[in-house]
């Protein structure tokens, strides 16, 4: 507990910082990274929950998460290459701008309100990829995913050979404003792609 006598004050009596607070952030980060290493040593079993974490990167030796990887509202900026997440990968409202090569996600990939600007061409995601409320403008050719939500994004064109096993949500995009569901489906199929589910405009 911080005692009143331990508070440092300026001449105008404004409280600055409590003593011994320096180094707390670094120690907190060390504990988080140690917990991740312990998770790896135990076989990467179960969920890895780093929601709201101050970490900006994950260790390169984290290759597989045998459960959910939750990084929503964290400070994460990069992920290691060749990362495999068996279930859900949450990156909502994070500063991440790009995803690593060969990323494999067995469940949903949540990028809502993140700073994402591009997706890798070799991304594998079996469930929905949510890019709602992001500034993304384009997607890589030959993208094959479960479902795709581009609700309220800056997407202007769809890639060649886009393959969506589920639904495609284009509400509040310039594409939906200019084209009907039927026209969008025809555009996708004309480049070799398909959407098996509904197209929302």
171-191: per-residue pLDDT in tens? 999 999 999 999 999 999 999
> In the chain, what are the domains?
15-200 (3.80.10)
> Helix/strand/coil (H, E, C) string of the chain?
CCCHHHEEECCCCCEEEECCCCCHHHHHHHHHHHHHHHHHHCCCECCEECCCCCCCCCCCCCCEEECCEECCCCCCCCCCCCCEECCCEECCCCCCCCCCCCCEECCCEECCCCCCCCCCCCCEEEEEEECCCCCCCCCCCCCEEEEEECCCCCCCCCCCCCEECCCEECCCCHHHHHCCHHHHHHHHHHCCCEECCCEEC
Say if residue 21's pLDDT is above 70.
Answer: no
Task: Name the pLDDT band for 105 (thresholds 50, 70, 90).
Answer: very high
Is 0.95 surpassed by the pTM of this model? no
């Amino acid at each position: 507990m911080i005692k009143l006598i331990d508070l440092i004050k300026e001449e105008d009596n404004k409280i600055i910082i409590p003593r011994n607070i320096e180094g707390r952030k670094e120690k907190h980060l060390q504990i988080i990274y140690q917990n991740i290493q312990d998770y790896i040593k135990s076989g990467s079993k179960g969920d890895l929950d780093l929601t709201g974490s101050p970490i900006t990167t994950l260790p390169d030796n984290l290759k597989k998460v045998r459960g959910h990887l939750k990084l929503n509202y964290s400070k994460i900026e990069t992920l290691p290459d060749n990362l495999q997440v068996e279930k859900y990968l949450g990156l909502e409202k994070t500063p991440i701008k790009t995803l690593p090569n060969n990323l494999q996600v067995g469940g949903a990939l949540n990028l809502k309100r993140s700073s994402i600007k591009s997706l890798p061409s070799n991304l594998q995601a079996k469930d929905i990829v949510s890019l709602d409320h992001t500034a993304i403008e384009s997607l890589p050719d030959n993208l094959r995913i479960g479902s795709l939500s581009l609700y309220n994004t800056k997407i202007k064109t769809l890639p060649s050979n886009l393959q969506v096993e589920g639904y495609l949500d284009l509400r509040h995009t310039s594409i939906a404003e200019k084209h009907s569901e039927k026209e969008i489906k025809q555009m996708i199929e004309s480049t070799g792609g398909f959407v098996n589910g509904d197209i929302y405009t």
